[in-house]
Structure formats: C-alpha cells, structure tokens
Amino acid sequence: MAAFSYICDSVAVITMSNPPVNALSSALIRAVQKAVEEAIGDFAVEAIVIRGDKGKFSAGADIREFNRLERGPPLVSLIDLIEDSKKPVVAAIEGVALGGGLELALGCHYRIAHAQAYVGLPEVLLGLVPAAGGALRLPRLIGISATLSMITTGKYVQAREALKLGIVDKVVGENTVDEAIQLAKKVIGQPLGSRQLSTLPVQCPPNVEAFLDEAMVKVKKQFRGAQSPLACVEVLRAAVQLPYLEGKKKERELFQFLYTTDQTRAQQYAFFAEREVAKWTLPSGASWKTASPQPIRTAAVIGLGTMGRSIVTSLAKAKIPVIALEQDKKQLDIGSKAVMSLLDREILKMEQLGHTEFTNSLGPVQFTLDYGKLRDVDIVIEAVFENMALKKEIFRHLSGICKPEAFLCTNTSGLDIDEMASVTNRPQMVIGTHFFSPAHIMKLLEVVHGHYTSSTTISTAMRLAKMLGKVGVLVGNCPSFVGNRLMRLYVEQAVFLVEEGSKPEEIDRALEDFGLAMGPFRMMDLAGLDIGWKARTEIGLTGPKLPIGTPARQRGSKRYSPLPDILCEKGRFGQKSGQGWYKYEKSGGRNAMPDPWLYNFLSEYQRIHNLKTHYVTQEEIIERCLYVLINEGFKVLEDGIASGPEDIDVIYNNGYGWPKYTGGPMYYASIVGLPVVLTKLEKYYGANPDIPDLKPSSFLKKLVSKGNPPLKEWRSHLGFQSSML
C-alpha cells in the first residue's frame, strides 16, 4: 500500500501504491499516515519525500469507496499531520495529482512536478467541492482568482502552468523523485512557517467581497442550474472571511450538503456511465476485453469542410500524422488555410498555458489532391457532403487504393453504414465515426457499428476515440444513429409549440433554464437552417419532389411543420444570413434578438392554416420537448441501437449540451419517475394524435408495468434478439 520505503542520506521516501492511479482509499491513507508518523519519529530521518508508485502521484479519492465518502475523508488529518511536521516534506508529482491527490500535495511544504504531470481539483465535476482543505490552501498559495477558475471548472493544469501559477515550486524533465530528494536535503533545517499554507493569509484582490459577488453572478450564468460551482464560490468566501479552522468547518458542511443532493448523485452516475460505455459488448460475445485494436500510426481525412478541417486538427493534436485530401485545388487551398489557422489557434492556446513543447508535438499534416498518397495510411475518415452516391463512390475508390489492413470510416450524420460498406472490398473494416462540431473540441465520438463491422474494427475506432481524448460510444446503424435521431424529434416538438402559440425565445428560455446549453431555436440558427432544409428537400419532404396536393402540415399520417422550410425560402438561414428564428446585428452575428417580423409572420401563418393557439406553459415546453426525446430513447433501446441507457446519457452529456447534473435524459426520466413520464406522454399524445412520436414506447410501458425498476436494471428487461449492435 504505502511504504516508508527507504532512507536516502536522511531523506525518507514514502511511496503511495494503489494501482492503477494510487487512489486515496481509506487503506492507503492509513498506510501513508503510518509511514509519515514513522518517518517523523525516526531520528535518522531529517526530511520526507512523498511520491506515487508507477509514475502517478495520485488521482484523488478512491471511486470504489464513493458510497462511503459521506463519513468524510480521513485524508484531512493526514494532510494536517504532514503540514505540521517539523521535518520538511516534499511532494514528487509525476503523472497526476488530482482532487485529494493535489490536496495532499498542498499539505506538503514543497512540490516538484514532472513536466508531463497534471494537477487539478476536479471535485466540481462530481457535483462536490474539495473537502480536504484544497479550496482553503490553494487561494493562500495562488490567490482567489486563479483558484476560482480552477475549482469551479475542475480543469486540469499541466505542470508548466502550475509553475506559473505558483502551485508547484519546480518542474523537471526527468528524475522527479531524485530532484525531490535533492530539494528535501537542501531545505533541511530551514524554517517551514512560510510553507505551511493553512497558516498564511489568503491572497485577495483589493475589493474581495465585490469580486466574490461578481464571481457568483458569472458562475450562475456559466453553469446555469448547477449547484456545486456555486458552492465552490461559497468555500472561497469562507476562505476569505473565516480563519482557516472555521473555513474548514464550512468546507465540510458544504461538502456534506452537496453529497446528499440529487445533482451530485446524477453527476456521479454520469461519471461512472462514461467509464461503463467504454466496456462495449456485442450479443455475439465479442467485447472490449477480447477484441484487440490495431495500431493507428497514420490517418487520412477526405473533405476539408466544416467537419474535415476540425477532424484533421483533432488528429494532429493527438500527434497522429494526417494526410488531408480535397476534391480540387480551390477547396484544398481554402481547407488547408482553415486547418493551419485552427492549428495556430491551438498552438497559441497551449503557449499561453506555458506548453512550449506542444508546437513540436503536433502530428504533421500533409495536404493533397492525390488519392495515391493514401496507399499506406492505417485509417481513412471520409467527411465529404452528406450524399450517399458521393460517399459510395469514394468508398469504392478507397477500396482499390488503400492497403488491405486500412480501416475505412465515415463521418456521416446518419446515412446507412452498410450501404457504404457494401461497395468496398472490406465491409468488415468499415465503420461510422460520427464526430461533433467542432471536432477538435467536442468530446463525443459516436462509433457506428454496421452489420458487417468486425470487433477489431470497433475496438480500433474506440481506441481512436481515446487517442483523441474523446468519449467513444458504440451505437448501432439506423437513420441518424442515436444522438441526431432523438434530437430531431425534440426540435420538431419545439417547432410545433411555436405553431401552437409559443415564441422561440420562450421555448429557448424554458429549456436553457432547465440547463441545456442552448435552446433549440438558437441552436438551429447557429447550425444553419438551410442544412435541414436541403436534407428535407433531397428526401422529398419539401421542394420539387413533394407530390402535388400534399397537405402543407401533414406528411403521411403525421403532423409536419413547414415553418423552417418557409423561413429558408425567405432566405432566413439563421446566424449566417443575419436572420432566422431570431434576427442578428449582421450576417454572421451572434447576438440573437427577438424579431417582430417573425411575430407578424407567425400570426399570418396561424391565420392561413386556421390554427387555434393556446398559452403554452413552461411546464408543457419542457415536458413535450424532453419527453418526446426520452420516449425515442426508449425506442432506441428497444431497437437495440444503444445497448443501455448509459450510452444515450453519455451521448447527450458530451455531444448535445445536456446538463450533466441531471445525469442525461434517461437518468433524468428515472428521477422524474417512469410512471410520470408515461402518464404525461399519454396525455400529450391524447391531445395531439397526429404526433405519433408522443405515443409512449412499448419499452417504457413495459418498465412501468414491471414496477418502475431502477435505471441499472433496465438492460435486464431488454430482449437481446433485436440488438443491432
């Protein structure tokens, strides 16, 4: 566990060992405590170094003991013991010092970090606040402002930035432990008062109360509805206003309060769900455990439009050499400039954070028009227009050019993977890698498994997600896959509500107040209304292919709203044209303003179609938009397109701006209670029988009939015979 392992010229080195990340389990904390006590009591020891085994200091609390956390981490007394030691204690930080790991390091008198190490207090991401003095010691070391930014976002800080901020005393390129021993020897006998952080005053800006009030307002806005970032500001207030020991009490109170809330439980669920989805399994028995990914040493991207350019950037950031291919010289020039500018921005960002080595560690990007250059790459990601004929032509072509071991991936938003695979000479090596825009920033990768896709191909695509720092979620092949399939119904419901008398800004506000990053109308305006319009025109839902005599507001037996089509016919494409559901200060403007023109247009539309409007409450907005999405989630499970509710939640939390503190749409449904969701869907479907998507899914009904089992049992009620995975 932890050993007071050796004494090197009067320096005791204590090694924390709890694989794989030296999480601070109760047993490890006890062992370290014992080792520190021994070292303090040993006359031969004059200084102490604490390090983590296998190149990792510590990733913090042991998540396996999460359900026991409410008893309070005994870590606090260990940290106090270290800080109070008369013998200097140096933390040798390799790998990570996160959460409790960093709090422990802050209790040490000195900190040395390896250049590749990260530090951070990510408790907020689990709906908590740091509870072992981290939020009280850190502002005494680096000031209120920098601490605020770290603890409210939970962001990790790389060693060089940590040095700049003052969190660590020195950064080394190698031999971190040896350097720590040297430092420990050097400071033997020196006074430690100024190194005991809890005894120091908090570093405050001149008008700290006003600063904290302002911070509270900003944090409320930034993390709409989430309570733990607000609690982080409260801890900082306690750090400023109260002596250290009283601040500690306040920190504890806030932690204990948060620990019992629904939000924290939801965030912890979301955290574990992300780990769970990496462990994919197919009904055939193939799984993440048995399938072996193939190495990806080089990649190619075809098409350098909105997606292709950011996919190239994402690969380069992951140090994977990329060949980027376009259809003609003009597009290649535009695309290559765009990629270079994205890469420059990434480099600048990293340099501002002090990572000078980053520039040299980007994967090289080669631009070309020549397919022949793709002969030796390990993986190709196609990102051309959303057009099946074109995609098939490209896949056929790639089949003849790429080496037989190369994987062929498509970034399609929802076209049939099998149809593309069927034109290749390696259908088992074809897979969907559905990135989200912008691909170098968004964390989600929907990995779409086709009928022929092999487990090696899945495993390789999931590994790619990891290499790119993304969360890969394996889904089955159906139109629009999981994320967009659910999203389409949510957006459609919002448009129906506008027909029924609500306003875009009312709907956006209701859903943003619920916690979504952006309401549906602002989202449509941002993405461009013309994209959906083109797709609907292509499949004949609108435009010249629509059979003459089709009722304006009906397709088949289903209700249809032509509102978005009409807006496009009027040139209102959203932000890019300066007007859409909102108006903007200029084309490309971002400031959405309600548009009186739209109100007149909607009144006229309602008059022409003889629509009876009603007052749409906030409750109806939330329930209709979210429950239709959740209902489709149950259908996705029933169809075997996602293997469990966790997969859907991870997709929404990471790709669609869903508030993590509600856990994701399926978890949220489980908290609301499935009988409630069912009753409401029945009510809304009863009132709108022309919207069949509101009709409760049979899987939802089944779960209610089984007595509303907890979410973790839902999978056991699914029949596997229908699985598309």
d(CA 98, CA 151): 11
Question: Beta-carbon neighbour count of residue 570 at 10 Å?
Answer: 13
Sole window of 242-250, 299-307, 493-501, 579-587 interacting with ligand NAD (rule: CB under 6 A): 299-307
Sole window of 38-46, 99-107, 218-226, 303-311 interacting with ligand NAD (rule: CB under 6 A): 303-311
| Least Cβ distance, residue 445 to ligand NAD (angstroms) | 11
279-307: buried (b, 16+ CB within 10 Å) or exposed (e) per residue? ebbbeeebebeebebbebebbbbbbbebb
* Joined tokens for residue 77: 């007394």
Q: Which is nearer to ligand NAD, 257 or 385 (CB)?
A: 385
Site track for ligand NAD across 371-410, x = CB under 6 A: ------------xxxx---x---x----------------
Q: Which is nearer to ligand NAD, 23 or 442 (CB)?
A: 442
User: Reading across the β-sheet that carries 89-93, which strands appear in turn?
Assistant: 2-8, 11-16, 47-52, 89-93, 110-114, 170-172
| Least Cβ distance, residue 646 to ligand NAD (angstroms) | 22
Q: Which is nearer to ligand NAD, 354 or 528 (CB)?
A: 528
Q: Which is nearer to ligand NAD, 133 or 432 (CB)?
A: 432
Query: Is 646 among the residues known to form the active site?
Result: no
Sole window of 146-154, 169-177, 198-206, 298-306 interacting with ligand NAD (rule: CB under 6 A): 298-306
| Under rule CB under 6 A, residue 5 binds ligand NAD | no
385-421: buried (b, 16+ CB within 10 Å) or exposed (e) per residue? ebeeeebbebbeebbeebeeebbbbbbbbbbbbeebb
Residue from 306, 368, 428, 618 binding ligand NAD (CB under 6 A): 306
Q: Which is nearer to ligand NAD, 117 or 302 (CB)?
A: 302
For residue 198, the 8-state DSSP code is: G
Residue number with the smallest Cβ distance to ligand NAD: 305
Q: Which is nearer to ligand NAD, 90 or 307 (CB)?
A: 307
Site track for ligand NAD across 492-511, x = CB under 6 A: --------------------
Query: Token match 């422990």: residue?
Result: 104
| Least Cβ distance, residue 326 to ligand NAD (angstroms) | 5
For residue 478, the 8-state DSSP code is: S
| Least Cβ distance, residue 17 to ligand NAD (angstroms) | 44
| Under rule CB under 6 A, residue 307 binds ligand NAD | yes
- Tell me the number of residues near ligand NAD by CB under 6 A: 23
Q: Which is nearer to ligand NAD, 389 or 608 (CB)?
A: 389
Question: Beta-carbon neighbour count of residue 373 at 10 Å?
Answer: 16
Sole window of 158-166, 211-219, 324-332, 606-614 interacting with ligand NAD (rule: CB under 6 A): 324-332
Q: Which is nearer to ligand NAD, 152 or 399 (CB)?
A: 399
Query: How many Cα atoms sit within 13 Å of 455 on the Cβ side?
Result: 14
| Least Cβ distance, residue 411 to ligand NAD (angstroms) | 4
Sole window of 26-34, 327-335, 462-470, 552-560 interacting with ligand NAD (rule: CB under 6 A): 327-335
Could you tell me which of 217, 213, 196, 197 has the C-alpha nearest to residue 205? 213
| Least Cβ distance, residue 335 to ligand NAD (angstroms) | 6
Residue from 48, 302, 362, 495 binding ligand NAD (CB under 6 A): 302
Q: Pick the catalytic residue from 83, 123, 274, 620.
A: 123
Q: Which is nearer to ligand NAD, 32 or 304 (CB)?
A: 304
d(CA 240, CA 247): 8
Sole window of 214-222, 229-237, 322-330, 628-636 interacting with ligand NAD (rule: CB under 6 A): 322-330
Query: Is 103 among the residues known to form the active site?
Result: yes
Site for ligand NAD in 248-277 (CB under 6 A): none
| Least Cβ distance, residue 640 to ligand NAD (angstroms) | 23
| Least Cβ distance, residue 564 to ligand NAD (angstroms) | 17
| Under rule CB under 6 A, residue 368 binds ligand NAD | no
215-248: buried (b, 16+ CB within 10 Å) or exposed (e) per residue? bbeebeeebbebbbbbbbbbbbbbbbebebeebb
Q: What angle do CA 636, 637, 641 make, to 5 degrees?
A: 60
3-state secondary structure of 273: helix
| Under rule CB under 6 A, residue 308 binds ligand NAD | yes
| Least Cβ distance, residue 310 to ligand NAD (angstroms) | 8
Question: Beta-carbon neighbour count of residue 477 at 10 Å?
Answer: 23
Q: Pick the catalytic residue from 46, 83, 103, 326.
A: 103
Cβ within 8 Å of residue 447, ≥6 positions away = 431, 432, 433, 434, 458, 461, 462, 465, 472, 473, 474, 475
Q: Kindly provide the residue ranges of all beta strands, DSSP E only, lying in 269-370, ordered along the sequence.
A: 299-302, 322-325, 365-368
Q: Which is nearer to ligand NAD, 62 or 382 (CB)?
A: 382
Could you tell me which of 120, 111, 121 has the C-alpha nearest to residue 172? 111
Site track for ligand NAD across 671-690, x = CB under 6 A: --------------------
Residue from 60, 120, 303, 427 binding ligand NAD (CB under 6 A): 303
* Joined tokens for residue 372: 């022949």
Whether the CB-CB separation of 338 and 303 falls below 8 Å is answered with no
* Joined tokens for residue 480: 């629009």
Q: Which is nearer to ligand NAD, 433 or 542 (CB)?
A: 433
449-460: buried (b, 16+ CB within 10 Å) or exposed (e) per residue? bbebbbbbbbbb
| Least Cβ distance, residue 303 to ligand NAD (angstroms) | 3
* Joined tokens for residue 80: 């106090």
For residue 353, the 8-state DSSP code is: T
d(CA 403, CA 375): 6
| Least Cβ distance, residue 299 to ligand NAD (angstroms) | 15
| Under rule CB under 6 A, residue 325 binds ligand NAD | yes
Tell me the helices (H) and strands (E) count for the chain, helix number first.
Answer: 28, 19
* Joined tokens for residue 693: 């998507």
| Least Cβ distance, residue 496 to ligand NAD (angstroms) | 24
| Under rule CB under 6 A, residue 281 binds ligand NAD | no
Site track for ligand NAD across 409-448, x = CB under 6 A: --xxx---------------------x-x-----------
d(CA 329, CA 310): 19
Residue from 261, 331, 422, 456 binding ligand NAD (CB under 6 A): 331
* Joined tokens for residue 569: 């016919």
Q: Which is nearer to ligand NAD, 331 or 688 (CB)?
A: 331
| Under rule CB under 6 A, residue 305 binds ligand NAD | yes
Could you tell me which of 119, 128, 75, 76 has the C-alpha nearest to residue 98? 119
Whether the CB-CB separation of 389 and 417 falls below 8 Å is answered with no
Kind of pairing, strands 299-302 and 379-382? parallel
Q: Which is nearer to ligand NAD, 40 or 390 (CB)?
A: 390
d(CA 293, CA 455): 9
Q: Which residues are catalytic?
A: 103, 123
Chain residues binding ligand NAD by CB under 6 A are: 302-308, 325-327, 331, 335, 383-386, 390, 394, 411-413, 435, 437
